[in-house]
Amino acid sequence: MQIAIVLYDRFTALDAVGPYQVFSSLPGAEVVFAAEQAGRVSDDERSLHLSADAALADVPHPDIVVVPGGPGQNDQMDDGPLHDWLRAADQGTAWTTSVCTGSLILAAAGLLAGRRATSHWLALGELGQHGAIPVSERVVFDGKYVTAAGVSAGIDMGLTLAGRIAGDQTAQAIQLGIEYDPQPPYDAGSPDRAPADLVRTMRARSRFILTGRPT
């Protein structure tokens, strides 16, 4: 079972590494990080660099595709090699997935038309503009399309999908192995429960937060 995690300039590290940590423990999994060109890919902070061991063209038939989000997503919205690859790979995948604003790329490539999907809470409106039906849930399944909310939601997506693929026992073993018993020190991870002024400030700054560029 080949799992291709797509990298591009200015991706968000945890978007990719959360699902990676889960999927790489699946029995029979071969995980490969792939980018338009093989080589070192920098994250949105420019202080983390992951190796893309393969070019997209070297991974034509993955069983699972994972598209992370991040400020660099904005540069991946036009038709081109990544969209072509996504559409072709999707023909043969068992699961096509995304984390955070990765769903905007899937939608822009035409893969989420009329499908229920989610994204970072600040990007749900834009997701709708690209033809998907935005859903404010942590992990959304629509057929073989699985989308996760912002950044850290990729861990929940990974475990949920691991259960579908390999059964509850295996997914639970992975959860216990990574001691995923989350105890956030604050209850501020959702716009529904974070302090209202913080949510307002972040909505006002959302273009900067999503793109990393001043408005």
Q: Which residues bind a copy of itself (CB under 8 A)?
A: 12-14, 17-18, 20-21, 24-25, 30-33, 40, 45, 47-51, 53, 100, 120-121, 138-139, 149-153, 155-156, 159-160, 163, 168-169, 171-173, 175-186, 188-191, 193-195, 198-199, 201-202, 209
**In the bound complex, what is the minimum distance in angstroms from residue 157's beta carbon to a copy of itself?**
9
Minimum CB distance to a copy of itself smaller for 91 or for 183: 183
Q: Cα–Cα distance between 185 and 161 in angstroms, integer? A: 27
Minimum CB distance to a copy of itself smaller for 96 or for 118: 118
Active site residue 112: no
Buried b (16+ CB within 10 A) or exposed e, 151-185: bbbbbbbbbbbbbebbeeeebeebbeeeeeeeeee
Minimum CB distance to a copy of itself smaller for 77 or for 199: 199
Please tell me the number of Cα atoms within 13 Å of 80 on its side-chain side: 7
Distance of CA 94 to the CA centre of its chain: 16
Q: Are 69 and 44 in contact (CB under 8 A)?
A: no
**In the bound complex, what is the minimum distance in angstroms from residue 93's beta carbon to a copy of itself?**
19
Catalytic residue among 64, 100, 112, 122: 100
Minimum CB distance to a copy of itself smaller for 17 or for 108: 17
Give the largest Cα separation in the chain, rounded. Answer: 47
Q: Cα–Cα distance between 11 and 66 in angstroms, integer? A: 12
Catalytic (active-site) positions = 100
